[in-house]
Amino acid sequence: MKYALLYDDDAAARRHSATLLKSLGYAVAEAATAQAALNATRALHFDVILTASAHADGERRALPGELSRLAPDTPTILLLDDDEPFPPLYAAFSATVTKPVTVRALRHALEFGLDGLGARPVPPAVRYERRAG
């Protein structure tokens, strides 16, 4: 069985997305707040994390950075509203899906990802490059 964490502060959208994930064979843990999502990530292992926000409410820390720190091998998918622009932290996510979420879009992000190999963690940026010299 595959496990997914779903964080969305909109209850109706969260229920809709959870139903679609369950139809794709995922056991879904739902979180209504960023702190609940971080606590669940700290306590359990998930195969994929879906979040509707790039920032934790009331905090300066970016949510994808905290999620990648707690679960470095777990892909994170951003759920964007249709009229919402891409956040500056777009590169920190494995894939994006626009809301309202459809089964086709969700399946495409989970199974094929951005490069056709499925949703995978984003590799960390290289801080320093070491060259032979």
Predicted confidence at residue 41, as pLDDT, reads 94
Tokens 């979420």 -> residue:
101
Is residue 64 included in any domain, yes or no? Answer: yes
pLDDT in tens, the chain (133 residues): 899 999 998 999 999 999 999 999 999 999 998 889 999 999 999 999 999 887 665 555 678 778 888 988 888 898 988 777 776 666 778 888 888 899 999 988 888 765 566 667 766 655 555 556 5
Domain that holds residue 17: 2-111
Q: Which two tokens stand for residue 71?
A: 């679960």
* CATH number of the domain where residue 64 is located: 3.40.50.2300
Q: How many domains does the chain have?
A: 1
- In whole angstroms, give the CA distance from residue 117 to residue 64: 21
Is residue 26 included in any domain, yes or no? Answer: yes
Q: Which amino acid is at 128?
A: Y
Is residue 120 included in any domain, yes or no? Answer: no
Q: For 10-38, give the DSSP string.
A: -HHHHHHHHHHHHHTTEEEEEESSHHHHH
Query: Which of 132, 103, 20, 114 lies closest to 75 in space, CA to CA?
Result: 114
Is residue 119 included in any domain, yes or no? Answer: no
pTM here is 0.81
Is residue 122 included in any domain, yes or no? Answer: no
68 in Cβ contact with 122 (< 8 Å): yes
Is residue 43 included in any domain, yes or no? Answer: yes
Predicted confidence at residue 15, as pLDDT, reads 95
Is residue 53 included in any domain, yes or no? Answer: yes
